Amino acid sequence: MDTTLLIATAIKIGVFLGLTLTFVSICVIFERRFSAMIQDRVGPNRTGIPLTILGFKKDFALPIGGLTQPMADGLKFILKEDFTPSYVRKAFFWLAPCMTMVPALITMAVIPFGSPMEIGEHIIPLAVADLSVGPLFIFAIASLSVYGITLAGWSSNSKYPFFGGVRSCAQMISYEIALGLSLIPVLMYFGDLNLGHIVEDQVKNGWLLLPLWNEGGFIIGSGYWGQEGLLLRWLLMIPLVITFFIFTTSIFAETNRTPFDLPECETELVGGYHTEYSSMKFALFFLGEYAAMIIGSALIVTLFFGGWSIGFGIDGLLPTGAWWVSLIHLGCFLTKVTIFILFFVLVRWTVPRFRYDQLMDLGWIVFFEAALINIFLMALLMAAPSIGILGTVFGAFILIAATIILVSIAKSVIKPSSVRSV
Amino acid sequence: MSEDATATAELKLPKDLAAEKGLVNVQIDGHWIQVPRGTRMIEAAKIAEKEIPHYCYHPKLSSPGNCRMCLVQMGMPPRPAPGEAPTFGDDGYQEIGWMPRPVIACANTVAENMGIRTSGELVESCREGVMEFLLINHPLDCPICDQAGECKLQEFSVQHGRGQSRFQETKIKKPKNVDIGKNIRLDDERCIMCSRCIRFMEEVAEEPVLGFSQRGTHTSVTVHPGRRLDNNYALNTADICPVGALTSNDFRFQMRVWFLKETKSIDLNCGTGCNTTIWTRANEVFRVTPRQNNDVNSDWMPDSHRLAFHHLESDARLTAPLIQKEGTHSSSTWTEAISKAAEGLNMRQPKEVAIIASARMSNEELYLAKKLADALGTDLISTVARKGDSDSKLISADRNPNSTGAALIFGNEDPSEKLDAIREGVSSGRIKALIVLQEDLLEEAGFNQSDLAGLEHLVSSHILANPTAAASEVVLPGAGFAEKRATYVNVTGRLQRAYQATLAPGDAREDWETLAALLAAVEKTFEAPASVDGVIKALASEIPAFEGQSFGSIGDLGVQITETGVTIPLLEQEKARVESGLING
Amino acid sequence: MATIKVNRPKLSAGEKIYFGSIFKGMAITLRHAFKTLFGKSVGADELASSGMGITMQYPEQKWDEHLPEYYRGVPALVTDEQQRERCVSCQLCEFICPPKAIKITPSEIPSDDEWAKVEKRPKEFEIDMIRCIYCGMCEEVCPEQAIYLRPDYIVTGTKRSDMVNDKERLYEIGGTRVGLVNKWNDLK
């Protein structure tokens, strides 16, 4: 490893970590202002920069008030009393917030934030670690965060946090399966596990869910239609859209966001797993949740919406490797992530929380089986050109039969719960 | 007749059964009960747990029957015609013929086979009428009236009143806020002419200075021209006044009674030990009133004693243990003060140490003081006698509340007999260390300043700062009468208990704790009990007179544990009035 | 305990996959968000507020014109047209006060006072506005028409002691109230 790469990596770690943490605070203000708007409220709109405490005559009010609210929140968290109840298991109680926060930040390492940058003779990818197993790495690390929540619930030595921990554990394990299975069609399509390559593929052949351009050009040009396998590409949209829904929903469940926020469901569990936490330890849970949300958004953007690419064939017009192009791509990526974060917020303030049994039914009976069928559908479609019409029809027949069997099994499992006694 | 005789022989009638025991059968609201012959109807109803509202009637005073509030319906068996034998129903009683007009329950006595109705249309309309008359001239003073909250007029007006006045004429104006004595304020407008105060002053206080003047609706209570209501029992009139006509100057506008917490206690200003109720709010004593105990103080209490609680809020209260260093006292901790006190005692020979306790202390404290003397090896322990004149009512000649207890615990007839020996020992310099508990040696025990100055080690415990405390090396703050749970034995030999009403100020402790700590510091084997009950237990097991007694066994009215032959004059006078039939008792 | 069978409504295939309803919900929330963003939401007209939701931008915008007659703000003591302090310190408000916010020290009116015949008035009258819950029980229980809940609602302070209204301050807030029953005038 030479020095330039080392320095570049260090800078990347610093910048991206800073970027993620900044984004957390942006998320917080988005969450608060956007939810206020949805509910016909104002939200935090006053916080300025309190210059008076530094001896100035007047406070500085930002043109759009309230932008410094996250700073004030953060400062408050740091200054509050860090209270540790006497009955908790101290070591685990301290460990738990870190266990939630750290995995969320580590997964950030494999996300390509922008197009590779050429500095001198080095081509530096704008991802901290350009791993060839990107999504797998993310799943492996992200699933560790369940330990944080479970430990928090257990070590608090109090019943509501404990319930929260148990719920979280069950929920995350359930949805991890759907999450992993739902991604297989995507990986089958790309045939690559390197997120950087996945993005570059989308630059050329159109975003996964928006194949409006390919190597031949934009959809309105004749070059687009001349490309091979265009019909198949559009047919593949069926399993890919299903994948997108399952994956997005599972990400909601993985990040403990509404409608899947049962671990901290305040109407039933006071504060859930973090009931006994205060001050900065609570803030770490908070941070972890939002960081997970950002990483989730980044992953969705990278896999389904072209990552850092501007799209619509514009990327091809820009020179490759120039530093300003990389910055434009970085901006593009962050914009897309922001849009998804707003979507997360919108969902949170629109969809009510699931009941716990509904959550489990959805995870194990609907999503698990749907993802499974989806894999075979994708495989069948991709294999169709090479196995001929007969093989395809036979495969389709088997697939339909398997679907009917699975659906009937699912129905029989769900049925008892459709009529409930109160 | 012969038939009747056989019937009686076969089956005794209820009237005969009752007569054998000196009782009569009375039917009250449909239930038959047996009450002693000669009982007033109002008392019979009380036995049957039926309340008859009343104003002028008081069991300890004569019954003039002038308020008319206690009207009830009465019935007797119809008088048989000549030659006709009384007929008895299946239950053995004669049928009651109800009278069409009501009678007052306070002045009529019960008779065999009598019926009383304390409710019903007639009785209720009577009460409503009486209430309406009583309220005609009564001012709307309740917001400023001290009686509000314990006012019978308020209570019965809610229960039996109309709710709205039909009176359209002008109310009679009478003098308000009249100064009639040093402790009592009179408001004539509020008076309902029940005459309780007049009768009390005449019959119990035996200084009849109150009376009615004017006539009709202008009738008002007045004090005799040229006289004032300055009797030492005058405040009892404020207690028995059913309305706010007579109120206490001391308690006037201090606090509304509904905020006050009642704690049962006893009076510690003389040997009688009048039973009292201490009224407190938020650790502050607001007033002390007598509590009925027919074996001690009847319903009364002298003014001088009930107003003596003000020393509890005195500025001279000691609130922290003090240690003298180079002539000045500075506040210290209990641990330090106790160890300092014990250190000075441990280094002396037994014959160099003496204890002056006080007969104002409770049995538990005296017991611990005696234990302390035993632990120090000295037999020089004495109380200070405090004699005065009896007022031939409730104030005893012995002004110490617990002389009898001290005598029982110290085991000699006169617990103060060794005081002279101690005084002589101190002045001759033979006694080098002295413990003084709750007594001021200079003013009341005949010591002089040079005696105290000659002592090497003087430990004293007081409630208020005084010259003895000023001369002491270690001063331990004590708790006042309302601030501790304790037992005392009065002059007649009655063991009585007092509950804790408030907490001692600052660091001041209950005295038994101080003594137990001191004892533990002097005698290492002594184990301090966790609460005062532990002390009582030890006391009961050691002193024969207290055997089997505990805080719970004493009861609110106390128990007689020894006979001293001393009587309380007021009770004797009351007994005579009961015997003469003047009062119900 | 009886078991009640609740038959759930039958869902059509479209409803069963929920997405329709979820998107419908999102449309509603988004509509609200945009209305608020352009200052057109509920309250913009009726309450003359900013339109950023029904919330008013306090302290630039205030409720004052919209305060109803019966608004229950700061409790205060009143004097009548004869300049007599109406409170006679009967302490009923202290008794009724659910959060025990009121503390009264009664006293006797000196005999040389113009209103000596009323005999009693408060020496100290303190209402702890940290404790007060603005329930209005004190006003309701007062037999002397002496305590009223005023429309003032701005109670601020930098210390706990600032939040305790003493007698002087209470009369200042309460001011004079006319048309009350003057029963003490009939007194000799």
What are the pLDDT digits (tens) for A138-169? 888 888 888 888 888 888 888 888 888 888 88
pLDDT over 80 at A401, yes or no: yes
Partner-chain contact C25 A34, CB within 8 Å: no
Q: Rg of chain B over CA atoms, in angstroms?
A: 29
pLDDT tens, position by position, for chain B (585 residues)?
A: 444 544 544 568 888 888 888 899 999 999 999 999 888 999 999 999 999 999 999 999 999 899 999 999 999 998 888 888 888 888 889 999 999 999 999 999 999 999 999 999 999 999 999 999 999 989 988 999 999 999 999 999 999 988 888 988 888 889 999 999 999 999 999 999 999 999 999 999 999 999 999 998 899 999 999 999 999 999 999 999 999 999 999 999 999 999 999 999 999 999 999 999 999 998 999 999 999 999 999 999 999 999 999 999 999 999 999 999 888 999 999 999 999 999 989 888 888 999 999 999 999 999 999 999 999 999 899 999 999 999 999 999 999 999 999 999 998 888 999 999 999 999 888 999 999 999 998 888 888 888 888 888 999 999 999 999 999 999 999 999 999 999 999 999 999 999 999 999 999 999 999 999 999 999 888 888 889 999 999 999 999 999 999 999 999 999 999 999 999 999 999 999 999 888 877
More confident residue, B13 or A314: B13
User: For A20-25, which contacts have Cβ atoms below 8 Å and span 24 or more sequence positions?
Assistant: A20/A105, A20/A108, A20/A291, A20/A294, A20/A295, A21/A287, A21/A291, A23/A290, A23/A294, A23/A334, A23/A337, A23/A341, A24/A287, A24/A290, A24/A291, A24/A294, A25/A70, A25/A71, A25/A73, A25/A74
Type of residue at A178:
A
Partner-chain contact C119 B148, CB within 8 Å: no
- A58-109 per-position pLDDT tens digit: 767 666 667 788 888 888 888 888 888 888 888 888 888 888 888 888 888 8
Touch of A by B (3+ CB pairs closer than 8 Å): no
Nearest to C143 among B143, B255, B259 (CB): B143
User: pLDDT confidence of A419, banded at 50, 70, 90?
Assistant: very low
Partner-chain contact B252 C108, CB within 8 Å: yes
CA distance B525 to B518: 12
| DSSP assignment of A66-87 | TTTHHHHHHHHHHHS-----TT
Chains contacting B (3 or more CB pairs within 8 Å): C
Give the CA-trace dihedral at B204, B210, B212, B213, to 10 degrees.
160
The answer to whether the CB of B490 falls within 8 A of the CB of B272 is yes
Partner-chain contact B144 C92, CB within 8 Å: no
pLDDT at C39: 72
The answer to whether the CB of A406 falls within 8 A of the CB of A398 is no
Alpha-carbon distance A263 to nearest alpha carbon in chain C (angstroms): 22
CA distance C138 to C146: 9
Closest by Cα among B214, B4, B55, B34 to B111: B34
pLDDT at A420: 44
The answer to whether the CB of C68 falls within 8 A of the CB of C86 is no
pLDDT at C53: 64
Partner-chain contact A42 C50, CB within 8 Å: yes
Q: Rg of chain C over CA atoms, in angstroms?
A: 26
Give the CA-trace dihedral at C57, C58, C59, C64, to 10 degrees.
110
Number of A/C CB contacts below 8 angstroms equals 62
The answer to whether the CB of B74 falls within 8 A of the CB of B103 is yes
Closest by Cα among C107, C110, C113 to C88: C107
pLDDT at A65: 67
Average pLDDT over residues A25-29: 84
pLDDT over 50 at A418, yes or no: no
Closest by Cα among A339, A332, A330, A344 to A16: A330
Start-to-end Cα distance in chain A: 66
More confident residue, B307 or A118: B307
CB of B316 within 8 Å of a chain C CB? The answer is no
The answer to whether the CB of B275 falls within 8 A of the CB of B264 is yes
pLDDT over 90 at A126, yes or no: no
pLDDT at B533: 92
pLDDT at A157: 86
The answer to whether the CB of A117 falls within 8 A of the CB of A124 is yes
Alpha-carbon distance A353 to nearest alpha carbon in chain C (angstroms): 12
User: pLDDT confidence of A422, banded at 50, 70, 90?
Assistant: very low
- Tell me the CB-side half-sphere exposure of residue B161, using CA atoms within 13 A: 17
Closest by Cα among B355, B357, B362, B341 to B535: B362
Q: What is the mean pLDDT of each run of 10 residues along chain C (188 residues)?
A: 80 76 88 80 64 71 78 92 91 94 93 90 94 94 93 88 93 90 80
Closest by Cα among A302, A308, A299 to A334: A308
pLDDT at C123: 94
Helices of type H across B357-429: 363-376, 403-410, 419-428
Residue C126, Cβ neighbours under 10 Å: how many? 18
Tokens of A379: 């495989």
pLDDT over 80 at A194, yes or no: yes
